[in-house]
Chain A
Amino acid sequence: MAIDLAVNQVSKSFGAFTAVEKVSFEVPQGHFFSILGPSGCGKTTLLRMIAGFTPPSEGLIAIRGRDMQGVVPNRRPVNLIFQHLALFPMMTVGQNIAFGLERRREKRGVIRRKVARILERVGLPGFEAKKIDQLSGGQQQRVAIARCLVLEPAVLLLDEPLGALDLKLREQMKVELKKLQVQVGTTFVYITHDQSEALVMSDAVAVMNAGRFEQVDTPQNLYHHPQSAFVARFVGENNAWTGRVRGGDAAALQIDTDDGCRFVCRAAESLDAGSPVELFIRPEALLIEPDEGIADLNRFEVQVRSILFDGANSRLLARPLQTDTELLIALPQNRQYDHIRVDDRIAVGWAPASGICFAAS
C-alpha cells in the first residue's frame, strides 16, 4: 500500500526543552491516523512540523515519497484544520473555500463548480453566500473541512477541531467525520487529547507522552494490550494498584499489592521477585458476584462506597475490605444488580488474563 506520510526519527527542541523526541511513523494512503496525548505532550508541535510551520531539529518528513525539508507550508500537499478553525471572517463561505483554488490560479468557472460540489459533499449545499458568523459551530466545522478538502491534499491534518463543540455535537461530528473520511478516501492525521475521538475514528492510534510515542496500534490493541503503564492509564478507564512481585512468570505473575491484596495476573514481561510493579484492571473486567464455579479467579470482597449511575456507563465506587484503595467497577444495567446498595459488602473477581502489570518506574 502506498505510504502518504512518512515521519522518520523527527525531533524538535526549543532551547533545552525537547518537545518531540525521535518520533517515527508511517501512514498508508486512505488511513485515519490519530495522535493521542495529554496537553503539552508535543502533538501540536509534531503536526506543525508536518504542515511546515515549524522546521524539525532533526529527522525527515516525506509526503507521498517526497522529502519536505525546506518546503514552505503553501507549497506542501497537506492542509491543516486549525483548532479554532481559522475561517476568514471577512469572507463568505464561498470565498473561504475558493481561497486556495484562487491561489492556484484555477479558472473562475472551475472554482465555482468545485466549491458547489464540496459544499454538497459536506452537507451544506447552497451556502456560498453566507457569512461565517451566520453559521453554527457544526456548520463552521464543515466549512473548514471543505476549505481544505477542495484542494485535494495528500494528507489532511486536523488539530483537535472538535474541541470547541459541545458534547452532543461532538459525538455527532465524530461519526460524520469518519464517514466523510471513508467517502473521500483522503489520508487523515488527527490529533486529540480525547481518547474516545481517537478510538472511534481511527484505523491506527499513536499514544504520545512527553515528546515520544508510547505505542502505535489499532484502537482495539491499545485498549486490550497496552504496552506501557502510561497507555494503560491514558486509554480508557483503569483501576491501578501498586505492589511487588512475589513470584511466577509473565503468564501468571503473583503479586502482593501495597494495600495487602494478593493477585495473579499476566505481565508484559517476566519480572524478578521483589521488584515493584503497577497493576491495571479495567472496570468492566471486575465481575460482581462471580459464579463460584469459575476457576483461577482473583477473588476479594469490597464495600460499596457509592453508585455512579450513568445509564449504560454506570459504575460502582468501592473499596476492598481493610484498604483505602478506590475501585471503579462496571455495573451492567441488566437489572441483575439492582439490589446493590451503598455500604453493602459484595464479592468481586477478575480473571488473571484481564489484568496487566508493568514494572513500576
Chain B
Amino acid sequence: MNPHRRYRFSLPLVLFLSPVLIWLVLLIVLPHVELLLMSLRVEGDDGGFSYSLANYRQFFDEPIYWLTFVRTAVYAILVTFLTFLVALPVAFYITKVVSPRRQGLLMLLLLMPFWVSELVRVYGWMILLRESGVINHFLVGLGLWEQPVEMLYNDVAMVMGLVYTSMLFMAVPLVSVLESLDDSLIEAAHDLGGNIASIVFRIIIPHAMPGIVSGCIVVFMLTLGNYLTPNLMGGKNSLWFTEQIYNQFIASFNWNQGASFGFLLLLLSSLVIWAGLKITRQKLGKVVQ
C-alpha cells in the first residue's frame, strides 16, 4: 500500500469536510488576515494608507501598553495555577472519595453555576463583596468590623472572580482523567510507605498530566481573553489587556492599533501554551484527546 494514498482527497471527503472548512475560512482565517493587514496599515497625514510596523512599535514605546500586557500574562498564569490548586482536590473528592451515586450530584452542583451567564455570576460576586454588600452587612452587623470595607475593584477580587469563572473548565478534564486512575495504585503507594505528598506528586499528578495540561490550556486561554470579569471586578487600577484592545477599537477608534494588540495577544497565548507543553513534556495531540 502506498502510504500517501490516504492523504489524497476524494470527492466524498471534500463534501464531508466542506462545512467545517467553510466555517474555518470565513470566520477564522479571513478575519485574521484582515486583522493582520489592518494592524500593519498606518494612516498618513494626507489621509492615505501605508504599510509599516508602526503600530507594533507604538506598543513597545508606550509603557502602559506593554506593562498591561505583561501584567495580563502573569495574572493569567497565576489564575490558571490557582484554579488548578482548587480544582485538583475537588476532582479527587468527586472521583475517589464519595460514593458513585453522589458523584453525579456533585458534578451537577459543579455545573449549575454555568447555567447562568458569566455576567450574572459576576454580578453575584459584586452583590456579595461591594461596600454595601451582603458580607459587609453581616460583618458590621455582628460587630466584627466597625466600618464597611470595599472588597471589590482590586486585584484580589479580580483573581478570585477569574478563578471562579474558570473552575469548571479545569475540574471537568481533571475528573475524567482521575476517573481512569486505578484506586489500587494509590493504595499500593500507601502500602509501600508513601505519604500524601509522595502519592500526590509521584502517582496522582503524573497520571493526571494530560488532563492537567488540557485544563490549564483552556483556563489560560479563557482567562487571557476574558473581558467582563477584569472589567467589572478589577476596577480602575486592574487593567487587563483585552480592555486596551477594546479602548483602541471603541474609544480611540484606532482599529489599526487595536488589530496589532489583538495579534500580540494571540502570539502571547500561543507562546505560553507552547512553553507549557515543552516544560511538562506533553504532546498537544495527546492533550486535546
Contacts and interface: CB of A to CB of B under 8 A. Distances in A.
A pairs with B: yes
Interface of A: 51-53, 72-75, 79-80, 82-84, 86-91, 99-100, 102-104, 147-148, 151
Interface string B182-204: 10110111111111001000110
Of B182, B184, B195, B206, most buried by chain A (CB within 10 Å of CB) is B184
The B contact surface, by secondary structure, is helix
7 contacts: A52-B191, A53-B190, A80-B187, A80-B188, A90-B206, A91-B202, A99-B194
A89 B189 CA distance: 12
Contacts of A80: 187-188, 191
Contact of A84 (B182, B198, B206, B207): B182
Contacts of A90: 203, 206-207
A99 B187 contact: no
A99 B192 contact: yes
A91 B207 CA distance: 10
Contact of B184 (A74, A82, A99): A82
- Interface residue tally on B, bucketed by range: 10 to 19
A73 B191 contact: yes
Interface in B179-229: 182, 184-185, 187-195, 198, 202-203, 206-207
A74 B193 contact: yes
Given A86-B182, A88-B203, A90-B203, A100 B187 contact: no
Contacts of A83: 184
Contacts of B192: 74, 79, 99-100, 103, 147-148, 151
B194 A103 contact: yes
B187 A74 contact: no
B101 to A, nearest CB: 16
Nearest to B198: A103
Given A90-B206, A90-B207, A100 B193 contact: yes
A73 B193 CA distance: 7
Contacts of A87: 188
B206 A86 contact: no
Nearest to B187: A53
A113 to B, nearest CB: 19
A53 B186 CA distance: 11
Contacts of A148: 192
B193 A88 contact: no
B191 A79 contact: yes
Contact of A86 (B188, B193, B207): B188
Interface string B132-173: 000000000000000000000000000000000000000000
A84 B183 CA distance: 11
A323 to B, nearest CB: 49
